Amino acid sequence: MPLTRATHCPVAQPVLANAGLAGRRRNRPPRPEGLAYSFTLPGEPHCATTARAAIRSALHVHGLAPYADVAVLAATELIGTAVELTPGRELYLSLRCRAGALRLVLWDQHPRHTDPDDVSLCAARRRDALWLLAACVSDCGGEWGTAEAEPPQRGVKSWAVLPCRRPELGPGTQDWVGMRA
């Protein structure tokens, strides 16, 4: 039986070395702008625990630990509502940091309603269930919402946008918590 051994791609190292990135990439901690994680979760109540742990860990690694509590609360509310309204179906959670804000997006597989009255009743029920998310996001100056997912996705897309800038710096500044100037 032939021996196998791991080797590096012969093209990768010269490209990194020529770009001056070979040594620096290994030792530099991830930056907030690089925060981009996605999870597929079972549509069960216990999946919120997994999401909370993953979000907390990702934010810590990317220097955004001060935002962990609010992000975890937002994810828990989004997941809890989706599980209640569409039990047993997979959920897809996306966590990104873009343009100075954490963006949590949750897609669930809630079936499409054909009756307009059912559509508005279901939307109102979801909005009412997310009252704690609304209060939390409003308190930190963010925004949230829900909408029917755009094709090719199906179901409902719910999101929360949480600003990540220090309040004392004011809008339009580029100083991030956890980053050095």
- Higher pLDDT pick, 152 / 57: 57
Mean pLDDT on 159-180:
58
Confidence of residue 20 (pLDDT cuts 50, 70, 90): low
In this prediction, residue 4 carries a pLDDT of 65
- Higher pLDDT pick, 178 / 180: 178
Q: What digits encode the pLDDT tens for the residues 38-54?
A: 999 999 989 999 999 99
Return all residues near 95 (Cβ < 8 A) that are at least 6 apart.
35, 36, 37, 38, 39, 55, 58, 71, 75, 102, 103, 104
Parallel, antiparallel, or unpaired: how do β-strands 143-148 and 101-108 relate?
Answer: unpaired
In this prediction, residue 25 carries a pLDDT of 54
- CATH number listed for the domain at residues 30-164: 3.30.565.10
Q: What digits encode the pLDDT tens for the residues 52-99?
A: 999 999 999 999 999 999 999 999 999 999 999 999 999 999 999 998
pTM for the model stands at 0.76
Domain parsing of the chain, residue ranges: 30-164
Mean pLDDT on 116-144:
93
